[in-house]
Structure 1
Amino acid sequence: MKQGCLLVFIYLLAATAQAETSKPHFVAKPSNKSVLGKAIEASKVSLNVTPEAKQGDRVYHYRTVDGGLAFSDRAPQQGHYQVLLFDCYACSPKSNVNWSSIPLFTTLYQQQIATAAQRYQLDPALIRAVIHAESAFKPAAISKVGAQGLMQLMPATAKELGVNNAFHPAENILAGSRYLAKLLDRFDGDIALACAAYNAGASRVEQFKGIPPYPETQAYVERVQILLKRYRKA
């Protein structure tokens, strides 16, 4: 396993210890696939992530039969698990997803999104596009740098916005929408710059006087705008 992957999961272990009781769980369906390959074990933590695992890939977190924590890029064959992410869903420049035809999430969290849109004077389609790009509507998502929930709030940002539980959909959507509205105000309503700031930080956008020359950020901004147009028409 690459050293980077190991560092990622050391962090995830710490984050999981704090959030495990409040994060939604999913039940694994029976599978006829082979049993998970041999994992690296340390302090009862199993890491079973292939070297090919990359940004945007799903990572499954669950407890083994002996009570240990396990992280894998394959879902367990039975029991409960949580879905984590290496990074935001739309950030990988090498993504082979067709963003112009990928299925949309038009019905999830309708009330929460409507409430946030009204409170912060935002286009509901923009909120939905950002959620799609950030987490693919996975409320339990955690990025490799620790961003949490549907709109991938960093712990410091969540704290500043008064969030008690970043994995609670309503709280996350309200806080993420509030932050997005602040960025839109800061960049005079420019959606591309606000989204770039949401991804890379407002100071980076100001430093480069535009979308930063980071492949991940450029890919993210482009895909959010594609999703925005599609959600507006949906």
Structure 2
Amino acid sequence: MSRKISLLILLAVAGSLIWCAGASADIYRYEDSDGVVHFTDAPTDKRFKVYLRDIKRDRKLRTTFRLAGCIRDPREFEPIIDQCALEFGVDKSLVKAVIHAESGYNPNAVSRKGASGLMQLMPQTARDLKVGNSFDPRENIRAGVRYLRFLLDTFRGDVSLALAAYNAGMAKVARYGGVPPYQETRTYVDRVLSYQKSYQNN
């Protein structure tokens, strides 16, 4: 499953970003060799450069993304997240963190490799999970949480390995016997865990 951030997220960040925490923070970006643009508020790679400064933060995680004239508030999806997290026994803070990292709460996000929706489901994964419409928030979140549950069970509750598999695929995690030595995957795991902690604290 590709974890590359879609160009739609570039527009979202350029338009408006209000990140979650207790103080102002900078947003960093870098463009990799494939032309994929990555954003973070907690850079773990020297290639990240400051993109936006003094982004306002909100203790209640009221992140708003502006995209193509459309504003979506993450609180809109909380009932679905709560229901799916309870159904599959997955920490709802982890679900929120994955959505945050994957799509920035944009239900219409599409990556260069075709991953789509809030939890960026790859077409084959969506088919395997019998998703009729990956852009439907309820279908997408339920399938993504179900897949997370499967990965957590597969890796015996190891959240880092489950996230690495969500990003790079189970085969890569099995091949390396842990988080693959890919900067993108390692950065992704660190980012999601950081987001999860922020959601838990707030």
Settle same-fold status: TM greater than 0.5: yes
| Cα distance in 2, alignment partners of residues 192 and 213 from structure 1 | 13
1:154 aligns with 2:103: no
Q: CA deviation at 1:102?
A: 6.1
Considering fraction of residues, name the structure with more helix: 2
Q: CA deviation at 1:95?
A: 4.1
After superposition, what is the alpha-carbon deviation per residue over 1:162-217, rounded to whole angstroms, capped at 9, x for unaligned? 10000000100000000000000000000000000000001100110010000100
| Deviating 4+ runs (over 3 angstroms) | 55-60, 86-98, 101-106
After superposition, what is the alpha-carbon deviation per residue over 1:63-100, rounded to whole angstroms, capped at 9, x for unaligned? xxxxxxxxxxx88xxxxxxxxxx5776699544579xx
Preserved contact between residue 135 and residue 151 of structure 1 (Cα < 8 Å): yes
Q: What residue is the counterpart of 2:139 in the other structure?
A: 171
| Cα distance in 1, alignment partners of residues 183 and 152 from structure 2 | 22
Q: Which runs of 5+ in 1 are unaligned?
A: 1-54, 61-73, 76-85
| Cα distance in 2, alignment partners of residues 151 and 139 from structure 1 | 8
Q: What residue is the counterpart of 2:190 in the other structure?
A: 222
Give the 3 Å change call, closer, same or farther, for CA 114–89 of structure 1 in structure 2.
Answer: farther
Trace 1:73-84 onto structure 2 (pairs within 5 A).
none
Using CA pairs below 8 Å that are at least 6 residues apart, which structure has the higher relative contact order?
2
Q: What residue is the counterpart of 1:144 in the other structure?
A: 112
Q: What residue is the counterpart of 1:131 in the other structure?
A: 99
Give the 3 Å change call, closer, same or farther, for CA 87–207 of structure 1 in structure 2.
Answer: farther
| Cα distance in 2, alignment partners of residues 203 and 127 from structure 1 | 22
Give the 3 Å change call, closer, same or farther, for CA 217–123 of structure 1 in structure 2.
Answer: same
Q: CA deviation at 1:59?
A: 3.9
Q: CA deviation at 1:233?
A: 1.1
Q: Which runs of 5+ in 2 are unaligned?
A: 16-35, 64-73
| Cα distance in 1, alignment partners of residues 49 and 38 from structure 2 | 15
Trace 1:1-234 onto structure 2 (pairs within 5 A).
56=5, 58-59=7-8, 93=45, 94-96=47-49, 104=61, 105=63, 107-234=75-202
After superposition, what is the alpha-carbon deviation per residue over 1:23-62, rounded to whole angstroms, capped at 9, x for unaligned? xxxxxxxxxxxxxxxxxxxxxxxxxxxxxxxx646349xx
Q: What residue is the counterpart of 2:22 in the other structure?
A: none
Amino acid corresponding to residue 7 of structure 2 in structure 1: R
TM-score (norm 2): 0.69
TM-score (norm 1): 0.60
Preserved contact between residue 88 and residue 134 of structure 1 (Cα < 8 Å): no
Preserved contact between residue 87 and residue 143 of structure 1 (Cα < 8 Å): no
Aligned pairs, how many?
Answer: 157
Give the superposed CA RMSD. 3.0
Give the 3 Å change call, closer, same or farther, for CA 56–159 of structure 1 in structure 2.
Answer: closer
